[in-house]
């Protein structure tokens, strides 16, 4: 299964659980927009799983090394590193406490390296079980170092984000940013989308856009306090515009019948 499908599957279970647990144990409440955002995010993740691309199979460290040395991937890795360092050194000390996207962006950018490292180490472990001398390959130690550094950085800044901001907001926003970098890394490194049909490409992009809309509802309207009863009263108020629209809609339906 591809990185896209794997990330979407994890998100389907993480988002509802984190929202429920944070609501019960941390007294963090989701308003109507937040609940709708969770539903849209889950639906978008499901669509992504259905249309996710097949991962190109890499069976040896030699293949992995060739892919990591690809000029396009090297350029992508350098760009991610520079942006992450700028955020860590310049932006985070000034705006990290007020902007939820700063810490999450750092975690997400570094996350692309952790996924690639895990993939490479998985291949190395498989070859080690086949009694091949992988311990002689410098690539293995480089991947271990990158994995340790990237995971420790992610944990550090994710904890900072959770200390400052609402857990129900951090988790889904982190998923979208993390998935974006992983999908991009996957496209560049493993060429996963080369064999996809147009329908699967449209489905994957549609699912991801649905998730982004859900995250927007979670983040943009987090301070809006509207209850279901207030919403129903507004919709079914005889003097409201929405009520008149509903009446006209039902009249049209009865006319066509």
pLDDT for residue 241: 57
> 194, 156, 165: which is closest to 18 by C-alpha?
165
How many angstroms separate the first and last alpha carbons of the chain? 48
Rounded to 10°, the helix 3-25/198-220 angle is 20
> 206, 163, 141, 156: which is closest to 8 by C-alpha?
206
* Number of residues written out for the chain: 257
Tens digits of pLDDT across the chain (257 residues): 555 445 544 544 455 555 555 555 555 566 777 777 778 877 877 787 777 666 556 777 788 888 888 888 889 889 999 999 999 999 988 888 888 889 998 988 888 888 888 888 888 888 888 888 777 888 888 889 988 998 898 889 988 888 888 776 787 778 778 877 877 787 788 776 666 778 877 888 888 788 778 777 766 666 667 666 666 666 556 555 555 666 666 666 666 55
CB 7 within 8 A of CB 182: yes
In this structure, what token pair is assigned to residue 234? 């507004």
CB 222 within 8 A of CB 82: no
Cα radius of gyration (the chain)? 22
d(CA 98, CA 79): 25
pTM over 0.85: no
CB 218 within 8 A of CB 37: yes
Query: Which letter does DSSP use for residue 53 in this model?
Result: P
d(CA 146, CA 140): 10
In this structure, what token pair is assigned to residue 219? 């983040």
Instruction: Please identify which residue in the block is written with the tokens 């190395």.
Output: 124
pLDDT for residue 9: 46
> 192, 175, 180, 191: which is closest to 51 by C-alpha?
192
pLDDT for residue 251: 63
d(CA 205, CA 202): 5
pLDDT for residue 82: 93
In this structure, what token pair is assigned to residue 207? 């699912």
pLDDT for residue 64: 81
CB 38 within 8 A of CB 218: yes
d(CA 110, CA 152): 10
In this structure, what token pair is assigned to residue 149? 């550094």
d(CA 108, CA 105): 5
């Amino acid at each position: 299964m591809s990185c896209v499908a794997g990330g979407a599957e994890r998100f389907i279970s993480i988002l509802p659980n984190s929202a429920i647990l944070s609501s019960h144990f941390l007294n963090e409440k989701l308003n109507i927009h937040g609940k709708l955002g969770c539903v849209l995010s889950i639906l978008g993740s499901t669509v992504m799983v259905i249309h996710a691309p097949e991962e190109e199979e890499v069976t040896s460290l030699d293949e992995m090394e060739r892919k990591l040395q690809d000029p396009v991937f090297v350029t992508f890795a350098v760009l991610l590193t520079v942006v992450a360092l700028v955020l860590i050194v310049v932006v985070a000390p000034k705006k990290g406490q007020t902007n939820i996207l700063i810490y999450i962006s750092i975690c997400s950018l570094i996350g692309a390296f952790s996924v690639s490292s895990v993939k490479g180490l998985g291949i190395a472990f498989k070859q080690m079980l086949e009694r091949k001398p992988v311990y002689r390959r410098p690539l293995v130690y480089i991947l271990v170092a990158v994995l340790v550094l990237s995971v420790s950085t992610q944990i550090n800044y994710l904890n900072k984000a959770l200390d400052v901001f609402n857990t129900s907001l951090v988790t889904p926003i982190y998923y979208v940013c993390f998935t974006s970098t992983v999908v991009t890394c996957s496209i560049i490194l493993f060429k996963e989308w080369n064999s996809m049909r147009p329908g699967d490409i449209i489905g994957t992009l549609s699912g991801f856009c649905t998730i982004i809309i859900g995250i927007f509802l979670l983040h943009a309207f987090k301070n809006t306090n509207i209850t279901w009863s207030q919403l129903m009263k507004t919709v079914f108020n005889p003097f409201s515009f929405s009520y008149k629209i509903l009446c006209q809609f039902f009249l049209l339906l009865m006319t066509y019948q």
